[in-house]
Structure 1
Amino acid sequence: MEVKVTSTTILTSPLSQPSEVPLTIFDRFALNIHVAVLYAFTPPTSANADIISALSKILVHFPTLTANFSTNSHGRPCLTVGGPDGGALVVEATVSSKLEDHLPLTPSPDFRLLHPGVNDAKHLLQVQLNRFQCGGLVIGITNHHRVADGQSMSSFFLAWGKMVRGVPIDPLPVYDQSWLKPRDPPLVQFNHWGTDFIPLSPQPNEFKATPVYADPSEITNMLFHYSPEFIMRLKAHTNKLSTEKYTTFETLAGYIWRKVTIARQLDDEESTMLSVPVNGRRRLQPPLPPEFFGNLVLDVYPKAKARALIEGGVVKAAGIVRKAVRAIGNDYFRSFIDLAEVYKDKNLVPCYETDGNVLSPNMEVDSWLGFGLDEIDFGGGGKLCGISLTWVPFEGLSIFIPSLSQDGGLDVLVSLLEKDAARFREISHSLD
């Protein structure tokens, strides 16, 4: 793939005077990385100038995307909006090949050419408009995860598309952090040490994590399509063996977890843990509006022994996922918020920062379903034809993505070591 950059622009912050926005405990818990995602559109599409003009206008409603990280007068982490080092990076580029030659979008190291570099990125939001020979467009966007979670960025992208098309932005994003105030007095009801954060002063042998690393060339990203018919059969198979009625996410998360465990050929008694992000907007009481912009996600950790998980079938795996996901509610989120108040002057380090780039025997399953990504429209008459991460150099990650194929269904990204990926391909659609 030959990509030629034709222009680079910095869109300055919409705020004329610097303003500080505190990082919440959920922001500080989020991954300390840029997330890079590609959105592909068939021709005809809106002109670059119209897309960039709309971005400049929509950032008025999403000012934290133009901020930079800093610390306030109390030495606590915050975002500074309107500072001299802020703004959003916009790159225009041309691609010598046709878009259809790269569809369906399956993560590839080559796709890193379609967005600005994420290592030591100066700007928290980076956009690259890639024009293909056929007139197709791929928008490569990277954003720092500690500014916004998946739901927030989906809202941003949908709003940006509306601005291009001249459609009113309603509802607007919400930044009110008063919902996240600690209780008085704060009450830490749960043990967040060793699961969410590394203990501040661990006892000998209390918390030991040995990160495992692999050469990125040994890691394979695969994309699998699961049709509505397959999902229906899978859920029917699962529900037939249980009195519970599992959701699509619970069923498919358990299914993928079990299949990955089989492909890895773990020892029977080896423990395997699934990390599942849970959105707190509706779990907090009173609930927060979906338009809350920032981070509001915590992880839950279903666990099982490899043999029990495999022999129990998908119904057991789905049941373990269901129990963990449904156990976390308002009390847990409030306890997490109060933890930040109790230890506000301490450096809280998320446990995942001790991980290498190999999660085995554990894995993570994220869902982009329900965000409305398949409704993104940048005008011009073209259609959204691809959604994908560019490349995942981490083993053990799986992401559920809404499918844009004619039959609907959903796509599942699975990242594994190549030796395990070969076995996973063989069993990826087996109900056994």
Structure 2
Amino acid sequence: MEVQVHRSTILAAPHAHPLEEEVPLTIFDLFASNINIAVLFAFTAPTPSDTEIIEGLSKTLVHFPLLTAQLDYSRLRRRRPCLVVGGKGGGALVVEATVAADLSDLLPLEPSADFLLLHPPTEETHHLFQVQLNRFRCGGLVVAAVTHHRVADGQSMSTFFVAWGESIRGTPITSLPVYDQSWIKPRSPPKCEFQHWDLEFVRVPPYRNGSPSNHQDEDPSKITNILLRYSSEFITTKLKPRTRGKYTTFETVLAHLWRKITMARGLDDRRHTAIRVTVNGRPRMRPPVPNEFVGNLVLNAYPESNVRLLLQGGPERAAKIIHDAVRRIDESYFQSIIDFGAMHGDDDLVPVYDTGGVVLSPNLEVDSWLRFRFQEVDFGGGGKLCAFLPTWVPIEGLVIFVPGLEQDGGLNVVVTLLKEHAEKLRQISHCLM
């Protein structure tokens, strides 16, 4: 795929914003992985001009100034790392590019390393939010955005993208962001009711050259990304009867995939396998935190099983393990880590995400974007959102649930595995045995 970059622009931080100059990272921001997340939105023609899209972005950033901030770990004036809004070197990077192909040549979008050409680099970046507008020969458009995870989680970014589309279309923003952190308040005195060391954070030597000292290097060429599609009919008539309809769609499909990925990896029966499942804290807090809260408010649940029991126990047992683990991450668990943050948040905390290398086997990391609003993103102009995917990910063992844009109510799942295991998974992904 031939991509030609024509110009780059830095949109400065808005002059008028509701935040202080320095915004300390919360314990949930510190828990988020220290990486950039890239996603792709593909729109059919006709679409607004680049000028209209960039003007809409400028208007939207007034309400989302953290995306133009800078991460400051220097601690020269404070103890906890923070986001600096309005400082020199901030702003959002916008790249305009053209692609010498028709968008239809790529549809339906399947994971590809070529996607890396459609967005700015995700390593050693100077901006917390970057976007590349890719104009195809047919008039189609792929908007590829890169956001640093410690600024915002998936719920926050889906709110942003919907608002950006509304600004482009000239309509009022229906869901304005919320920055009130009064929900993230420790008790007095703080009290940790759960063990958070080695689950959320680990004690390891300081970073070296921006990476944890125990990071494992692997050859990215051994890892591939695949997309699995599960229709609503398949889920309803094939998968849910195997769990007697007792579990959510997410729990049911994940139970099925956990077993199939374990089979595809060929794991020994005596091994242990676990999942890090992201859990959105907004609906679990009391009172609930609005979906429009911008930042990070996510923790992990940890379903686990012996491989032999996982495979022999069937999908209903796997779904129950997932359900019970997720249910345990409740209001009291979130409050406990808020108190942990009050007790340890000024230490050099390293999240578990940053210590495991790029091959997670025999374990998995699972993120669900099903309840976010990505499928509602509409840039106007008459074109329609025809595809939405995360970009190519060079990590083995990542599973991302993505809302399907088809009208049948199904879902898509991006899975990253070693190539030989990915090929096996393709063969058995819909097998009910």
**TM-score > 0.5, shorter chain as reference:** yes
- 1:128-207 counterparts in 2 under 5 A? 128-199=132-203
Describe the SS at the equivalent of 1:178: coil
* 1:11 partnered with 2:19: no
Task: Measure the CA separation in 2 of the matches of 1:336 and 1:199.
Answer: 16
In structure 2, the CA distance between the partners of 1:285 and 1:200, relative to structure 1 (3 Å rule), is farther
Describe the SS at the equivalent of 2:182: helix
State the Cα distance separating 1:210 from its structure 2 match: 7.0
Could you tell me whether the CA contact under 8 Å between 2:159 and 2:175 is conserved in 1?
Answer: no
State the identity as a percent. Answer: 57
Kindly provide the amino acid, as one letter, of the partner of residue 71 in structure 2: F
Task: Measure the CA separation in 1 of the matches of 2:176 and 2:373.
Answer: 16
Task: Measure the CA separation in 1 of the matches of 2:240 and 2:173.
Answer: 40
Could you give the per-residue CA deviations for residues 45-73 of structure 1, whole angstroms, max 9, x where no partner exists? 01111000000011000000000011552
Could you tell me whether the CA contact under 8 Å between 2:243 and 2:252 is conserved in 1?
Answer: no
Task: Measure the CA separation in 2 of the matches of 1:358 and 1:65.
Answer: 30
- 1:18-29 counterparts in 2 under 5 A? 19-29=21-31
Kindly provide the amino acid, as one letter, of the partner of residue 20 in structure 1: E
Describe the SS at the equivalent of 2:286: coil
Could you tell me whether the CA contact under 8 Å between 1:367 and 1:401 is conserved in 2?
Answer: yes
Aligned length: 422
1:204 corresponds to which residue?
none
1:387 corresponds to which residue?
388
Task: Measure the CA separation in 2 of the matches of 1:319 and 1:218.
Answer: 33
- 1:313-332 counterparts in 2 under 5 A? 313-332=314-333
In structure 2, the CA distance between the partners of 1:235 and 1:426, relative to structure 1 (3 Å rule), is closer
In structure 2, the CA distance between the partners of 1:16 and 1:175, relative to structure 1 (3 Å rule), is closer
Out of 71, 75, 93, the position equivalent to 2:79 is 75
2:49 corresponds to which residue?
47
Out of 114, 117, 121, the position equivalent to 1:113 is 117
State the Cα distance separating 1:104 from its structure 2 match: 1.5
1:342 corresponds to which residue?
343
Task: Measure the CA separation in 2 of the matches of 1:211 and 1:173.
Answer: 35
* 1:297 partnered with 2:301: no
Could you tell me whether the CA contact under 8 Å between 2:93 and 2:130 is conserved in 1?
Answer: yes
Structure 2 unaligned residues grouped into runs of 5+: 206-212
Task: Measure the CA separation in 2 of the matches of 1:53 and 1:37.
Answer: 21
Could you tell me whether the CA contact under 8 Å between 1:403 and 1:410 is conserved in 2?
Answer: yes
Describe the SS at the equivalent of 1:366: strand
Could you tell me whether the CA contact under 8 Å between 1:223 and 1:414 is conserved in 2?
Answer: yes
Kindly provide the amino acid, as one letter, of the partner of residue 5 in structure 1: V
2:209 corresponds to which residue?
none
Task: Measure the CA separation in 1 of the matches of 2:121 and 2:330.
Answer: 37
Task: Measure the CA separation in 2 of the matches of 1:68 and 1:360.
Answer: 34
Could you tell me whether the CA contact under 8 Å between 2:38 and 2:391 is conserved in 1?
Answer: yes
In structure 2, the CA distance between the partners of 1:426 and 1:24, relative to structure 1 (3 Å rule), is same
In structure 2, the CA distance between the partners of 1:341 and 1:200, relative to structure 1 (3 Å rule), is farther
Task: Measure the CA separation in 1 of the matches of 2:175 and 2:353.
Answer: 34
- TM-score, normalization by structure 2: 0.95
Task: Measure the CA separation in 2 of the matches of 1:398 and 1:67.
Answer: 30
State the Cα distance separating 1:251 from its structure 2 match: 0.6
Could you give the per-residue CA deviations for residues 17-66 of structure 1, whole angstroms, max 9, x where no partner exists? 97111110000100101101110000000111100000001100000000
State the Cα distance separating 1:200 from its structure 2 match: 7.0
- 1:192-341 counterparts in 2 under 5 A? 192-199=196-203, 213-240=217-244, 245-341=246-342
In structure 2, the CA distance between the partners of 1:6 and 1:200, relative to structure 1 (3 Å rule), is closer
Task: Measure the CA separation in 2 of the matches of 1:239 and 1:267.
Answer: 25
- TM-score, normalization by structure 1: 0.95
State the Cα distance separating 1:74 from its structure 2 match: 2.1
State the Cα distance separating 1:211 from its structure 2 match: 5.7
CA RMSD between the two structures: 1.6
Kindly provide the amino acid, as one letter, of the partner of residue 23 in structure 1: L
Bigger drift between 83-92 and 342-351 goes to 342-351
Task: Measure the CA separation in 2 of the matches of 1:2 and 1:161.
Answer: 27
Describe the SS at the equivalent of 1:179: coil
Task: Measure the CA separation in 1 of the matches of 2:100 and 2:354.
Answer: 39
In structure 2, the CA distance between the partners of 1:10 and 1:163, relative to structure 1 (3 Å rule), is same
Describe the SS at the equivalent of 2:270: coil
Describe the SS at the equivalent of 1:312: helix
1:366 corresponds to which residue?
367
2:36 corresponds to which residue?
34
